[in-house]
A and B are shown apart, each in its own frame.
Chain A
Amino acid sequence: MKRRLTALALSAAMALSLAACGSSGNSTSAGAPAQETAVQEAPAEESAGAQESEDADPAAREDEKWTGEISHISMTYLTFGQTPADMDKVVAKINELTIPKIGVEIEFVPLGIYDSLAQYPLWISSGENVDLINIAFQDISTYINQGLIIPLNDIVASSAPNISKMMQEYPLVDGSYKDGEFYGISPRAQTYGSGSSIMIPRRVLDSVGVVPEEDHIYSMEELGEIFAKEKEAFPDQYMMDLVTSSITGSRYGFYNSGLDALGTTNSSGLLMGKNSTEVKNLYATEEYAAYLNTIRDWYQKGYIHPDAATTSQTGTEWLTGGVALGNFVGGEPNQLYGAENLFGEPCYQLQTVEPFMPAKASSGAFWSIPITSKDPEGAMRFLDLMYDDTGELLNLILWGIEGEHYVMVDPAEDLIGFPEGIDSTTSGYYVSFGFYGNRAKEYIWDMSSSHARCQAYTDWAMQNKTKGYGFCYDPSNYADQIAAINAVEAQYLPVLESGSADPAKILPEFLQKLDAAGINEVIADKQAQFDEWLAQQ
């Protein structure tokens, strides 16, 4: 039982982390240290502080100092298993800032991100005190439905001025609603919008004479032509990093814009196209059948690895090991830097989907307050400071102490780098989860994630809002059907979407099982809820 729960939790994490760029083909970039130009889109009063470096005196900007009682707040601090050596030093620095300013003495509870999946529910259900948790790579609805976290409406209104203001403008709390109350606050992302793209090393495309056009949207047909040329020149390699662990939902969205599962997954139906108001069963559409045929064709032509559906390796391993030549990711500009780091060489980014704004635009990570918190109000004060317009607390948590853990390379662009003689392996504080607060204020490491580029991407996506933008489906009445549908998807999607099975034979079987699991009832329910919401708009 224990083992299975852990396994469950792990897989949930995988599913969600990959869902970020898998389930409907759009990435929500939950980890990048880029930031948008505050001057461009932030409210006017922000611009004054935007250019200031992080060590400016906070008191100079804030007219009042904290006079009330000091709150002692514990906050989970997610790591990849190793607590940074200088964490305590950074925490001391943070307290120097927050105790006089907001009356919060913070304590970090370091926790491997994998461990967090199993630990949070246990801590909270057995009454252990923790004030602020970060629910990342897992589904917040589990926490909401099981009553593990508290609703935040009132507390945000009373003690979180920055968040209150920001959530008017950005979808910070979308996806955490239940019965009109919200339970989680996600970071203000660097970019908004769903898109997708494929990264291909420049060397490869140059050698086959393909000159990618920026901002062109490549169709499957065009991609097929490029892959054909690549395959001819690199017969032993494969054209994309498609592996079984990346098929947690349909990859149809990597090639088609405007898919909107209305805050949940495809298993309960989705809108197809930004002007659509009809909830459809993706898998039963002609478009999907055609897509599978193309994928099957790619598989047979050797663009997709013959073991894609069963491999024990990850897409990343294939990229770094030279097995695959293409990296499917979200469409955000800051993806390029990541891909180039993986490939170890310069890449082209070919957009495959026009960015758009679906119903659920917030990133997958949420900050929440467990029911065991003794001081929710103090926790909220601390959280709120992460969303302020100076980015001071945010960058302190994220990148550590200036001069010691990073140096400012270009203050105008907020570009930072490692101090001399230090790199990611020797730094005493180097964590790169972008979970914290107002990410538009994050310092960046590379100009491909510059504020201007990120903003341009968001603007592009904003022009393409789906009809479901702002709506969130509540699937709780159909949880059993959805569980059964999930199991059917887990069985069929990897073989179908990797091309390793003949869709002519397998697709009808898949559809029949989806029917039997009750997909149509769920879709009807989703449609009904959506229609009701539309009518109110």
Chain B
Amino acid sequence: MKNQDRGFRIGAHIVLMLLSLLAILPFLLLIIGSFTDNAWAIANGYSFFPKEWSLKAYQYIGQQWSTIGRAYLVTIFVTVFGTALGLLITSMLGYALSRPELPGRGIILVFVVITMLFNGGIVASYFIWTQVFHIKNTIWALIFPNLLANAFNIILLKNYFENDIPRALLESAFLDGASELKTFTSIVLPLSLPILATVGLMSALAYWNDWTNGLYYLSERGGSQYYSVQNILNSMNNNIQFLANNATELAKAGMSGADLPSTTVRMAIAVVGIIPILAAYPFFQKYFVKGITIGAVKG
């Protein structure tokens, strides 16, 4: 029996190792690409063993370091605040919906699911957020539109609360006279760390990677102090692409695109965007620990 378990475990290690390699090797190519000499990369493609190395791509990004530094602060604030607030309201709704006896539950669920399918489009969203709620050029522009809560997360939480929290626990709490809120905070939430970590991670990733809100709701004049890292990186990316496509026009004005590390800078931008979230990931992982002590609570 033990042997069989060990065999299974070794097999698991091998498979996961292979999967990790599949994921890491391209990432390595990306990192090496960002350190490759631009002209060499254009002529020879990206390689694990480039013949010419260069730091130019990072120097180019570094030119805007003062803005990027502040943008990191903005991003961190938005990510932390947005994730926390989102997680709070999402899990409260998920908890309410996890109770099969709640009158009107079906209707609320349909109300929630519809939002996964239908949307009014950007024109209408923009109108509502700017003309009704006036969030343009405020920090809320990065937090509220689209990202705070979504149907998928609500349903994930609802499912977990419904299926993985023993009913008996809730009932005994109510018998002891605990209120809904008290039960929710002191029994349900502590038992739901894996799903909270999951939803929190998804939400944090969404906040971290988002650049559309900044694009739409922050303007150069008046809102640029709230640009997030992805706003800046993304705008850099787009403008480099634009420059590259229109270099002839610019060159006519005496501006040469020749020394712009166009190809490699895209790689560097991706690296700069990915590394911090990768560094923050272990924070979430500790909640995926096996065998959350439901048994212990029961006992």
Contacts and interface: CB of A to CB of B under 8 A. Distances in A.
**Is there any pair of Cβ atoms, one from A and one from B, under 8 angstroms apart in the complex?**
yes
Contacts of B246: 17, 31
Contacts of B236: 81
Interface in B26-73: 38-39, 41-43
Contacts of B39: 320-322
A342 B245 contact: no
A293 B269 CA distance: 41
Contact of B249 (A115, A119, A338): A338
B251 A342 contact: yes
A126 B122 CA distance: 11
A80 B249 CA distance: 13
A83 B263 contact: no
A81 B125 CA distance: 25
Nearest to B123: A125
A518 interface: no
Interface residues of B, number: 45
Interface in B242-261: 242-258
B153 to A, nearest CB: 19
B4 interface: no
Contacts of B219: 109, 111, 119
A34 interface: yes
A339 interface: yes
Contacts of B243: 80
A6 B212 contact: yes
A3 B121 CA distance: 11
A327 B172 CA distance: 79
Interface in A4-40: 5-6, 10, 13-14, 17-18, 21, 29-34
Given A83-B220, A114-B235, A341 B252 contact: yes
A456 B215 CA distance: 44
A6 B256 contact: no
Contacts of A80: 239, 242-243
B46 to A, nearest CB: 10
A196 B110 CA distance: 59
Given A109-B221, A112-B239, A126 B130 contact: yes
A115 to B, nearest CB: 6
A118 B235 CA distance: 13
Contacts of B42: 313, 317-318, 320-323
Most B C-beta atoms less than 10 A away, residue of A6, A17, A316, A445 = A316
A399 to B, nearest CB: 9
Interface stretch (A96-104, A212-220, A329-337, A491-499): A329-337
B220 A338 contact: no
B216 interface: yes
A472 to B, nearest CB: 24
B90 interface: no
Chain B CB count within 10 A is highest, among A18, A125, A318, for A125
A2 B257 CA distance: 30
A446 interface: yes
Contact of B242 (A29, A83, A114, A119): A114
A442 to B, nearest CB: 10
A112 B231 CA distance: 12
Given A110-B220, A338-B251, A432-B253, A317 B244 contact: yes
Interface residues of A, number: 64
B288 interface: no
Query: In the complex, which of the residues A18, A34, A314, A318 has the most CB atoms of chain B within 10 Å of its own CB atom?
Result: A314
A482 B275 CA distance: 44
B262 interface: yes
Contacts of B242: 13, 17, 80, 113-114
A445 B262 CA distance: 25
Contacts of A432: 249-250, 252-255
Interface string A71-90: 00000000011110000000
Given A18-B245, A80-B242, A344-B256, A115 B235 contact: yes
Interface in A297-326: 313-314, 316-318, 320-323
Nearest to A398: B253
Contacts of A320: 39, 42, 247, 257-258
B270 to A, nearest CB: 13
A14 B131 contact: no
A245 B256 CA distance: 20
B238 A81 contact: yes
Contacts of B239: 80-82, 112-114
Nearest to B125: A2
Interface string B119-133: 101110111001100
B215 A115 contact: yes
Interface string A436-463: 0000000001100100000000000000
Q: Which 8 A-B pairs have the closest CB atoms?
A: A321-B42, A432-B253, A31-B249, A81-B239, A341-B251, A338-B252, A338-B251, A316-B247
Interface of B: 38-39, 41-43, 119, 121-123, 125-127, 130-131, 146, 212, 215-216, 219-221, 235-236, 238-239, 241-258, 262-263
8 contacts: A2-B212, A17-B245, A118-B215, A122-B126, A316-B257, A337-B251, A338-B250, A341-B255
